Homo-oligomer: A and B are copies of this chain.
Amino acid sequence: MFHLPHSRPVRFFILPVYVCRYNVGDQFQNAKLVSIMFELVFLGTSASAPSAERNLTSTLLIHEGTRFMLDCAEGTQRQILKSGVGFKDLRRIFLTHGHLDHILGIGGLASTLGQWDVPVGSKLEIYGGRWALDRVRDLMKVVMRGKEVEIDIEFIEIKPGVLVQEKNLTVSAFNVLHRGTGNFGFVFEEKSKRPFLVERAQTLGIPVGPERKKLVAGESITLADGSVIQPDAVLGELVPGTKFVYVGDIARINEVVEQARDADGLVMEATYLDQDREIARKHGHITAAEAAAAARDANVKQLFLTHISRRYSGYLVHAEASTVFPNTIVCNDLDRYIVKREKNQGD
């Protein structure tokens, strides 16, 4: 399924319970075994323009094999190759906003995807604000000129609220403030679950098999002795699923603090340092210290900083943010992390 093993050491972060080192390729085959929740692959971490070390912004979020690309700047298709995760099953791109350093890579990516024989009916879904989508539509006209590329694309305009509802996952959008209109942050939230209490089931004499499955699904069962068991008898308290929040460029943290409440992982921009906060204001950005304050105020478990400017070293960005919020990682290109709810919270 994933075809490009690479020799680069895989860095990872995992919330406190498991610390499992994995090789690229293996983790997905073992997904059902090790119960990966969200995997993050930072494809590019630079703001505005690339540097020799950092490509422009794009992040891949993987949940149970389903992939979500978050922004897609110039050079992203090559970063996918370097990361080793491959192009397969890449069919959803979510745009935080329509600035060039977040969208221009869709051109090359669509060109490459369009060269392949894709399954009938498969298409690339691009979610974005109206302004961003209009810009990407024009970009795709450039790409498709002369039928050089033929690829089926669906443009889905984002409104605040639920964007995607899957069996175990809900993706929602919320408004954020940046330059222009149609800027969004995204909340990825796993379905809350009530854990099955095995010991209690044994005490009640419920056999292993379809009866237990019915109870987990919320149905009552009747045992051989005629007694009826309700699901409440063997299901524990509701445990919230893992929550992950992704934010692009923002001019203030208010909306993030509100939406990222108790999130297990939060990705934010850190384009400026406090010493340059006036420039940050002018360009509709926040500082590393402000991003950290948002994570602290929202009671987030882990903050990942990206969209790093060539002005600063990652070390300085980390120094500023971690003073405010210690659980801060300044991401580098091709870093991979796992975000999981702590075990004592369920799962």
Alpha-carbon gap, A180 to B148, bound state (A): 10
Least CB separation from A99: chain B residue: B148
Closest B-chain residue to A181, C-beta based? B146
**Stretch with Cβ within 8 A of B (4 or more), from A49-57, A122-130, A243-251:** A49-57
Determine which of B48, B77, B82, B149 lies in contact with A74 in the assembled complex, contact meaning CB atoms within 8 Å: B77
User: Which chain B residue shows the least CB distance to A84?
Assistant: B52
Residues of chain B contacted by A145 (CB below 8 angstroms): 134-135, 138
* A50–B104 CB distance below 8 A: no
Specify the chain B residue showing the minimal Cβ separation from A135: B145
Interface digits, A281-293 against B, CB 8 Å rule (1 contact, 0 not)?
0000000000000
A46 to chain B, nearest CB (A): 9
Q: Interface on chain A toward B: helix, strand, loop, or mixed SS?
A: helix
Q: Please, which residue of chain B has its CB at the minimum distance from the CB of A105?
A: B74
A57 CB to nearest B CB, Å: 12
Does A155 make an interface contact (CB < 8 A)? no
Contact with B along A93-116 (1 / 0, CB 8 A): 000000111001101100110010
- The count of residues in chain A whose C-beta lies closer than 8 Å to any C-beta of chain B is 38
Interfacial residues, chain A to chain B (CB-CB below 8 A): 4, 6, 48-52, 55-56, 74-75, 77-78, 81-82, 99-101, 104-105, 107-108, 111-112, 115, 131, 134-135, 138-139, 141-143, 145-146, 148-149, 180
Q: Are B82 and A143 in contact (CB-based, < 8 A)?
A: no
A233 to B108, CA, bound (A): 60
Q: Name A101's contact: one of B48, B55, B111 (CB within 8 Å).
A: B111
Contact partner, A107, options B78, B104, B134, B149, Cβ 8 Å: B104
Given A4-B52, A51-B81, 18 more pairs with CB closer than 8 A: A49-B111, A50-B108, A52-B78, A55-B78, A56-B108, A74-B74, A74-B108, A75-B78, A75-B108, A99-B148, A100-B148, A104-B111, A134-B145, A135-B142, A138-B138, A139-B139, A142-B142, A146-B180
Which residues of chain B have C-beta atoms less than 8 A from A50's C-beta? Answer: 77-78, 81, 108
In the assembled complex, which residues on chain B have CB atoms less than 8 Å from the CB atom of A77? 49-50, 74
**Shortest 5 CB-CB distances between A and B: which pairs?**
A74-B108, A50-B78, A75-B75, A49-B112, A52-B81
CA A111 – CA B75 in complex, angstroms? 14
Nearest CB of B to A148, in Å: 6
| Structural contact, B146 and A82, CB atoms closer than 8 A | no
Which residues of chain B are near A74, meaning CB under 8 Å? 74-75, 77-78, 105, 107-108
Tell me, in angstroms, the Cα distance from A78 to B107 when the chains sit together: 17
- Tell me the smallest distance from the CB of A299 to a CB of chain B, in Å: 36
| Chain B residues closer than 8 Å to A78, beta-carbon distance | 50-52, 55, 74-75
